A and B are shown apart, each in its own frame.
Chain A
């Protein structure tokens, strides 16, 4: 109570959230300096570098095909984002993709009429896996790393056991068209792949979701589950929904991959770590509470652009993991510093410029999504 007199009522309240101040341009510039924004710049730089080596890459038809190819990993990364921002891990993603691919291959077969039931079945399986992961993590209090590792081993083992570890089944071409085909005769880009449309739809839905109360709650839960719980959030249900979103994203990625990769239980192997890499590259903090959804997708694109760059440079593909490893370490080391610089006003140095007092801050409206 004596502190009330000693702290003058400076307009310092807004300094706690510098991202909410200033004009749109100022906010965009500041946002670009955070790891979540820097990944967009990184992706742009890589794109320019790839185009510089191989000018054909910049042609709209080529580019849209690249986006279509990258869509599955970007969708998986956005699914992983929900889980990571809520403070957990999902290692079961690759196994879910393999399961869905095998379901598609064996259930549909050459029967056109089964395409829609199969889609429903796959989404249902995805939701159930996510539910199991989420309930195991929240109600049984098993660390998510272990639960999802368990589902990864169990699902992966089951799928390989049922298929004998070999490619089985061949879904009809109409189903494969989802991942492979597109709308023909579009001006400029020739073909608009369905995967790009799905990607854009999922992005839009995700942005809307992260701006909804659920999105706010999920970030609060990841930042501090105890505080979120005391504030009235149902932490277990929020986290469980995050796991379900992740498994459903893996399902969609699986549906798209059927078109590209065919039916084999090893499709999707390693997707969980690639998705985590993309999310981390997007500046999302492991442990939860920090990061933007679209940055996760941008991380996936940056990673794929990097691999394209290395391909065009004729670097042996066996070096890919090494590059990936160096990149994620650097990204995280840099991000760890930048988030604290971007978010927290430094205590030692005086404020460089006084905050414009007339600008009305909108607390809590600009923190989750750009």
Chain B
């Protein structure tokens, strides 16, 4: 969204963004303004897919003799969304800036054992343990961000490396469950509104709203898109590229820490393998890409990511209701990822407008025709 806003002034300098519209070719218009042409943007497409998946789930659940929209089932779906959702929001930030974070599962595991170990089952320890945990996550994110931003290590490698370092630490020092969550935190995991919307989901929505505001209305957010689009161009345009990269990684790790606290509120104990068992690294990246964010960075939105997470949660839920073999679930997930991304991967690629001949008579006439048709 911000990418489109950033593009339009750049196309024809010296004119107002609306003036050159008739001279744009059809392709250029589609690429630059997916929302105005009447075509489907990837965000609306992902929600259409979501509606389709929900419709199919309702039917399949009904065949099993159960109601998809029952209180308990909606609660289950929304709870399942909350943890992966928080991680995926962080992952969105990192991917937008052109990096990747493969360390989230290990950060999540580490955060649960550290938080549970700090709480020792006492409410009085909750604030300190929470702050400690999130601070540690922020520190991990900071190291990763500095590796990516200052030393120019590829995000894939930096986060894979940090993840391995953390997993080695976890494997050496923690065997089995560790610590005990405070009762207040466990209460939070069970609380909700009217037995339908869990508090965890509200936390997810608040985080999504805050990050969306950050991306749309702050300088940092715009810089994230600019750097993800093209780091060199952003730097030469006067953007300091280190700070947004580091900030994205810190926010991603902190959001993973929050997700770990939510997990802890449900499990009650810290588990050193909970993150890698959940495969949050690959699933969160898949959810982000499913949500229409370009893996190369520079284009995407948190709203789309939430849609992607919702698709996974609904699929998991209906497969659980149908008692699908857990190994077959992976098979279905894999198929869905590839098929769903294949459906709209072609349109979400921002094509550079043709440099020569794009504004010829044919292009102009097509452009005006379509504008007339749309109006």
Contacts and interface: CB of A to CB of B under 8 A. Distances in A.
B172 A318 contact: yes
Contacts of B327: 157-158, 160-161, 164-165
Given A328-B160, A332-B153, A336-B152, A142 B334 contact: no
Given A146-B289, A326-B165, A332 B331 contact: no
Interface stretch (A61-69, A148-156, A255-263, A349-357): A148-156
B371 interface: no
Interface in B151-170: 151-154, 156-158, 160-169
Contacts of B168: 318-325
Interface centre among B171, B285, B346 (most CB of A within 10 A): B171
Contact of B330 (A154, A320, A323): A154
Contact of A286 (B156, B282, B295): B156
B328 A140 contact: no
A145 interface: yes
Nearest to A320: B168
A141 interface: yes
B330 A153 contact: yes
Contact of B163 (A136, A153, A161, A325): A325
B338 interface: yes
B335 interface: yes
Interface in A153-176: 153-158, 160-161, 164-165
B204 to A, nearest CB: 23
A147 interface: yes
A333 B154 CA distance: 9
Contacts of A333: 147, 151-153
B26 interface: no
A157 B330 contact: yes
Interface residues of A, number: 46
Nearest to B347: A141
Contacts of A319: 168, 171-172
Interface residues of B, number: 43
B161 A161 contact: no
A147 B329 CA distance: 17
A327 B153 CA distance: 13
A209 interface: no
A318 B330 CA distance: 28
A141 B349 contact: yes
A214 interface: no
A160 B326 CA distance: 9
Interface string A272-291: 01001100100000110000
B325 interface: yes
B362 interface: no
Contacts of B341: 142-143, 146, 150
B314 interface: no
Given A140-B345, A154-B330, A328 B157 contact: yes
Given A141-B346, A142-B342, A157 B157 contact: no
B305 to A, nearest CB: 14
Nearest to B103: A325
Contacts of B171: 318-319, 321
Nearest to A95: B334
Interface in B315-338: 325, 327-335, 337-338
Contacts of A147: 338
A185 interface: no
Contacts of A28: none
Contacts of B332: 157
B260 interface: no
A124 interface: no
A35 to B, nearest CB: 13
A143 B345 CA distance: 8
B296 interface: yes
B197 to A, nearest CB: 30
B100 to A, nearest CB: 8
A201 interface: no
A314 interface: no
B92 to A, nearest CB: 15
B286 interface: yes
A329 interface: yes
A5 B366 CA distance: 46
Given A273-B160, A319-B172, A149 B165 contact: no
Given A141-B349, A326-B165, A149 B337 contact: yes
Interface string B130-159: 000000000000000001000111101110
A160 B337 contact: no
Nearest to A89: B156
A316 interface: yes
Given A146-B286, A321-B168, A161 B345 contact: no
Contacts of B151: 333, 336
Contacts of B334: 149-157
Interface centre among A91, A147, A325, A326 (most CB of B within 10 A): A325
Contact of A326 (B161, B167, B325): B161
B198 to A, nearest CB: 27
Contacts of A165: 327
A321 B167 contact: yes
Contact of B165 (A151, A164, A325): A325
A329 B156 CA distance: 10
A332 B329 contact: no
A150 B345 CA distance: 14
Given A154-B331, A325-B164, A146 B295 contact: yes
A147 B341 CA distance: 9
Contacts of A149: 282, 285-286, 334, 337
A149 B153 CA distance: 22
Contacts of A336: 151-153
A322 B295 contact: no
A328 B338 contact: no
Nearest to B173: A318
23 contacts: A136-B342, A141-B345, A143-B295, A143-B296, A146-B286, A146-B337, A146-B338, A149-B337, A150-B286, A150-B334, A150-B335, A151-B334, A152-B282, A153-B330, A153-B331, A154-B331, A157-B328, A157-B333, A277-B160, A321-B164, A321-B165, A322-B172, A332-B153
Given A152-B282, A160-B330, A324-B168, 12 more contacts: A140-B342, A143-B341, A146-B337, A153-B337, A157-B327, A157-B329, A158-B327, A158-B328, A320-B168, A321-B171, A325-B166, A332-B161
Interface of B: 147, 151-154, 156-158, 160-169, 171-172, 282, 285-286, 289, 295-296, 325, 327-335, 337-338, 341-342, 345-346, 349
- CB-based closest 4 A-B pairs: A322-B168, A157-B330, A325-B164, A153-B334
